[in-house]
Amino acid sequence: MKLDFSNEKSIYLQIAESIEDDIVKGVIEEETQIPSTNQMAVIYKINPATAGKGINMLVDRGILYKKRGIGMFVKAGARELILKERKNSFYDKFIVTLLEEAKNLGIGIDEIIEMIKKGGEVNE
Amino acid sequence: MNNMEQMSSFILEVSGLTKKYRDVTALKNFSVKLESNKIYGLLGRNGAGKTTLLDIITSRIFADSGEVMVMGRNAVENQEILPCICYMPEKNYFITSTKVSEIFNSAAMFFDNFDMQYADQLCDKFNLDKRKKYKALSRGYESILRIIIGLASRAPLTIFDEPVLGLDAAVRDLFYRELLDDYAKNPRTLIISTHLIEESADVFEDVLIIREGELVSQMQVTDLREMAFYISGRPADVESAAAGHNVIHDEIVGNVRISAIFEKLTEESMRELKSCNVDIAPIPVQKLFIYLTDSSKEEKL
């Protein structure tokens, strides 16, 4: 998990996102326990309430659940759920900003498509 | 007994405090309520009234008028309440020839929850030699001593005035982590006044911002961060984007106008702003603090 304190995103959103990232990458597996808010507080030097706010967001979205007296666990199916949500927001998050910046730079749609194809080949 | 029940949810209730020093008014009809088991940051410029407020809460000095209630009871010179409050002020009045270990012994006599074992652990971590006399401590180790007493006292209301003065970055870091760790194990209410906001802001749950003896803002740190952002771009664009918003700072750099906005925006008005052809960027907390405490300005927060 990584936090960027100069980032415009709130710390609790970053907490939530970094946990999601770890679930997507398989660093934290489903049905395993995540660090407690108090552990996160000490690691990142943040108030436990802030860490709790990030964790609660994931509980509300059905990604984490609480085992009473033990702690927070990753729900079965959480990874699928995150992937689905992220695909849905892919357009808003990446394509819109991409097009905006391309417009600023005067890059046309065809040129962008060329670039994407080239990038795709490199990745394959 | 509705009244009593309401009172008990706040560990500290200060109402209508006024304190004058000759012709200077240090506190003006100051009121604030603090909930139990939260970490509060007390922020304000030099001379804003922070130390006066803390001194009054702990009966070091007395207000001209107003009331201080701790755990629902009048705290002024209250022998039963004062041991529940551990105040580590900027200036200590320890006897200079006493040893650190003796200072710990007196602290243990005064504070019911004082944990000597924990104090010893902290001495090891912070590298403080208990056999040293108080007068032999450097500026930094004086701060470390205050930190150790403050933490080890585990008082229900623990107050640090400028705890990290004279400490290097590594020791400050150790302090924040130790504080959070022990707070997690032994929840209590902490008030920490500091100038070094950028590094400590996220340690606090709520901040109290005080300017010229008045409380200008009390809010969650997460809200504070979300409410503050710069918009910049061509002056005309920035002006129309900022219209109707709470602008707390304005500057022109070359051909670019930068306005600082402090306001909780709905997603819709945020989207509107983004469509105004302006750049939006977060305001560093330290900067925000300067804008909010600037006495030459009179914005409504």
Whether B240 and B208 map to the same domain: the answer is no
CB-CB neighbors (< 8 A) of B221 in chain A: 47, 50
Interface of A with B in 40-99 (CB under 8 A): 41-42, 44-50, 53
Whether A11 and chain B come into contact, CB under 8 Å, resolves to yes
Within a domain: B104: yes
Whether B66 and B139 map to the same domain: the answer is yes
Of residues B51, B48, B139, the one with CA closest to residue B89: B51
Within a domain: B196: yes
| d(C-alpha B208, C-alpha B191), whole Å | 10
CATH number, residue B179: 3.40.50.300
- Distances in Å between the Cα of A42 and the Cα atoms of A5, A90, B154, B195, B299 are 15, 33, 18, 21, 36
* Predicted pLDDT of residue B165: 87
Given B212, B232, B265, the domain boundary residue is: B212
Q: What is the full per-residue pLDDT of chain B (301 aa) written as tens digits?
A: 444 444 458 999 999 999 999 989 999 999 999 999 999 999 998 889 999 999 999 999 999 999 999 999 999 888 889 889 999 998 777 888 999 999 999 999 999 999 999 999 999 999 999 999 999 999 999 999 999 999 999 999 999 999 998 899 999 999 999 999 999 999 999 999 998 888 899 999 999 999 999 999 999 998 888 889 899 999 999 999 998 899 999 999 999 999 999 998 888 888 888 888 898 888 888 888 889 887 665 444 4
Within a domain: B158: yes
* Predicted pLDDT of residue B301: 44
Domain span at B128: 2-212
The tokens for B205 are 């749950």
Q: What is the mean pLDDT of chain A?
A: 89
Within a domain: B219: no
Given B212, B235, B262, the domain boundary residue is: B212
Whether B198 and B151 map to the same domain: the answer is yes
CATH number, residue B240: 3.30.70.2020
Whether B124 and B240 map to the same domain: the answer is no
Within a domain: B299: no
Which is higher by pLDDT, A6 or B79? B79
Whether B88 and B192 map to the same domain: the answer is yes
Which parts of chain A are beta strand (E)?
Answer: 64-67, 71-74
Q: What are A65-107's pLDDT values in tens digits?
A: 999 989 999 999 999 999 999 998 888 888 888 998 899 899 9
Q: Judge: A45–B221 Cβ closer than 8 Å, yes or no.
A: no
Of A7, A44, A49, the CB nearest to B205: A49
Counted domains in chain B: 2
Q: Determine contact, residues B222/A48, Cβ cutoff 8 Å.
A: no
Whether B28 and B148 map to the same domain: the answer is yes
Whether B205 and B249 map to the same domain: the answer is no
Whether B233 and B194 map to the same domain: the answer is no
Whether B228 and B140 map to the same domain: the answer is no
Given B212, B247, B262, the domain boundary residue is: B212
Whether B228 and B208 map to the same domain: the answer is no
Work out the average pLDDT over A29-51.
Answer: 94
* Predicted pLDDT of residue B127: 97
Q: What are A18-36's pLDDT values in tens digits?
A: 999 999 999 999 999 999 9
The C-alpha torsion from B49 through B51 and B57 to B63, rounded to 10°, is: -50
Q: Determine contact, residues A55/A15, Cβ cutoff 8 Å.
A: yes
Q: For residue A110, is pLDDT > 60?
A: yes
Q: Judge: A10–B222 Cβ closer than 8 Å, yes or no.
A: yes
Whether B116 and B168 map to the same domain: the answer is yes
CB-CB neighbors (< 8 A) of A50 in chain B: 202, 205, 221-222
The tokens for B287 are 């900067």
Of residues B276, B283, B282, the one with CA closest to residue B236: B276
CB-CB neighbors (< 8 A) of B177 in chain A: 42, 45
* Predicted pLDDT of residue B102: 96
Within a domain: B149: yes
* Predicted pLDDT of residue B1: 40
- Distances in Å between the Cα of B40 and the Cα atoms of A29, B34, B160 are 36, 8, 10
Q: Judge: B205–A50 Cβ closer than 8 Å, yes or no.
A: yes
Which chain A residue has the Cα nearest residue B198?
Answer: A5
Q: Judge: B204–A47 Cβ closer than 8 Å, yes or no.
A: yes
Q: Judge: B183–A48 Cβ closer than 8 Å, yes or no.
A: yes
Within a domain: B301: no
Q: Judge: A7–B205 Cβ closer than 8 Å, yes or no.
A: no
Within a domain: B118: yes
Kind and range of the H or E element at A86? helix A78-90
Whether B79 and B121 map to the same domain: the answer is yes
* Predicted pLDDT of residue B299: 45
